[in-house]
Amino acid sequence: MSVTGMVITDKSPFALKRATGDLADGAAKLAEEIGATAVEAVLAQANRAAARRGATAALGPMQPRPAEWYAFDAGDQDTVDWYPQGLTGSTDSGAIGVPTLVVSWYFKPTAGERGIRVSFLSPRTLKYRHALLVLAKPDGSYGPINIHAGGIAIDGDLLYVADTVRGLRVFDLRRILDLRTAQNDLGDADRIGRAGGKFHAFGYRYVIPQTDMWRLANPGPVFSFVSLDRSGGTGKLITGEYRENDPGGRVARWNLPFSGGEPAEAYVMGQSKIQGALSQGATWYLSQTGGSARNGKLLVHRGGQFQTRPFPIGPEDLTVQDGRLWSLTEFKGRRVVFGVGL
């Protein structure tokens, strides 16, 4: 069945203003003390292995199956502490030297907050490694970031992370910090920050400090997911809203390089439960969840109408890599990164 949608709406509520504050100073202080490394170096030290075409429960009765999919390892499948949400990669970036998929996760427990992390996954080797995203201060201290991180996108070296009610957080991937360069061990796995003459990051080897912030000029819009459209001559950054039982969720499309202010355009999607949205020119792809027990849907909007395609259980953010549309699934025992045809 086809339905109409993607109606142009007022873009002014989405206006963003820069709010760097002392973020860049804090990140620079940490980089000076610890030393920075690159995405390629993180992948060279990958310590986990994904399984090609594993965790088939994530697909449910989906037919046809995705063209390709990778399942996280047993520890990441089974944890009830961490949930994958956002997805981007080297095609979005244009600056990462090896094929890479990048996944964001948020920490769910209400006590003992451990923040958000990203995983760098190599489609060539299926090896991956986590890095913790942190908030640094000019005095050299740092701590976790307690947000949902529902979507991510990389433009060049800049990683944009959706902050639901605030806007967009920015992390410079030229400032991935390797704690092993500053000390012989990874510190206390139950601590974060600087203490006892050492750096601690809950046992993570790599931390990435926030370097910038784009904050909503006025409250209202929600930043649930992020993606990039590189199909035309000028790249576009896309942000969008998840609404549970309301088809009024909106998406905004911003020109790159990103400079805040108002987006170039905004649309009402006319669909509820959208976890990710991405455009390729005039065509829109929306990832719609069916909850934890039913398959989701891929909604494709062309020529003023939506067409429905099958999708796995619990689909989230969207990106394009190597000519395919990629997404990921979030639920325990059903966590995969998967690619389908555009």
| Domain ranges (residues) in the chain | 7-341
Element (H, E) at 76: helix 74-78
Tokens 């920490």 correspond to 107
d(CA 98, CA 101): 10
User: Phi-psi category of 203—alpha, beta or left, where left has phi over 0 and alpha has psi -120 to 50?
Assistant: left
Q: What is the pLDDT of residue 315?
A: 98
Q: What is the pLDDT of residue 1?
A: 35
How many CB atoms sit inside 10 A of residue 232's CB? 11
Provide the 8-state DSSP code for 329. B
Asked if omega into 312 is within 30° of 0 (cis), the reply is: no
Question: What's the fold here for domain 7-341?
Answer: Methylamine Dehydrogenase; Chain H (2.130.10)
Per-residue pLDDT of the chain (342 residues; tens, 9 = 90+): 344 689 999 999 999 999 999 999 999 999 999 989 999 999 999 999 999 999 999 999 999 999 999 999 999 999 999 999 999 999 999 999 999 999 999 999 877 899 999 999 999 999 999 999 999 999 889 999 999 999 999 999 999 999 999 999 999 999 999 999 888 788 889 999 998 889 999 999 999 999 999 999 999 999 999 999 999 888 999 999 999 999 999 999 999 999 999 999 999 999 999 999 999 999 999 999 999 999 999 999 999 999 999 999 999 999 999 999 999 999 999 999 999 999
Rounded to two decimals, the pTM is 0.97
Element (H, E) at 341: strand 336-341
Cα 83 to Cα 94, 106, 108, 130, 181: the distances in Å are: 27, 6, 7, 13, 29
